[in-house]
Amino acid sequence: MKLLDRLPRESGGEYALRTIKENIISLELAPGSQISENELAAEMGLSRTPVREALMELAKVKIVDIQPQKKSTIPLIDYDMVEESRFMRDLLECAVVALDCEMAAPADLERLRENVRLQTLYLDDFYSGQLMALDNQFHQLLFEIAKKSQVYALMDNISIHFDRVRTMALSSVKSSKIVQDHAALVDLIGQRDASAARALMEKHLNRYDIDAAALRTAYPQYFK
């Protein structure tokens, strides 16, 4: 498991949740693998209580299967859950990008463009981990610009099912279309073209389903 740096004033429970979640999304804790509360606590230098709380929180969104007196399991990928997650993102992100077309200031557009420049840089040498982080940051910035940061935080918990597929898409398909979409979205926001921005966002979020067959071929052991 990859350990993250603990943030200032971050509680043990918050750190455990963030670390376990990141490892599930990055597939370090792979679909179908078993995890031990004791082992996780030892690796993170925490007591069992914050780890247990983090696992219970993740169990609420069905990304951890807790079995009493046994090791917990990271479930295999269920495309029904992926679709639910993406459905939610479709509704929220299409609405948010339309708001961005009304609310984005020049400084906001520059922040988005800088993010896309970095994505292009990492795409050239293909660093999938950095690309995933920048992809997440790009979408989070869209919510911040629309003054909907709390909505992003709520969405982020459920979108973990979708995020595992995004990780595999970036790693196996290696498509530049995702970064191209981001660049085009910034241009449309700058042009205040809400209708075109919404349409592109919907297309963008559906790219991961288009690659479903390729993902199942590359990672057959990860799917139900």
Tens of each residue's pLDDT in the chain, 224 residues:
999 999 999 999 999 999 999 999 999 999 999 999 999 999 999 999 999 999 999 999 999 999 888 889 999 999 899 989 999 999 999 999 999 999 999 999 999 999 999 999 888 766 677 888 899 999 999 999 999 999 999 998 889 999 998 888 776 655 688 899 999 999 999 999 999 999 999 999 887 665 677 788 888 999 98
Distance between CA atoms of residues 139 and 99, nearest Å: 13
Minimal CA–CA distance to 132: which of 212, 29, 24?
24
- 72 strand-pairing partners: 35
Angle of helix 177-190 versus helix 106-125 axis, rounded to 10: 170
CATH topology of domain 12-73: Arc Repressor Mutant, subunit A (1.10.10)
For the chain, residues classed under CATH 1.10.10.10 are 12-73
Cβ contact 15:7 at 8 Å: yes
pTM for this model (two decimals): 0.86
Largest CA distance in the chain: 57
**Number of H-type helices and E-type strands within the chain:** 12, 2
**Which residue intervals of the chain bear CATH 1.20.120.530?**
79-222
Kindly indicate whether the domain formed by 79-222 is annotated with CATH number 3.30.465.10: no
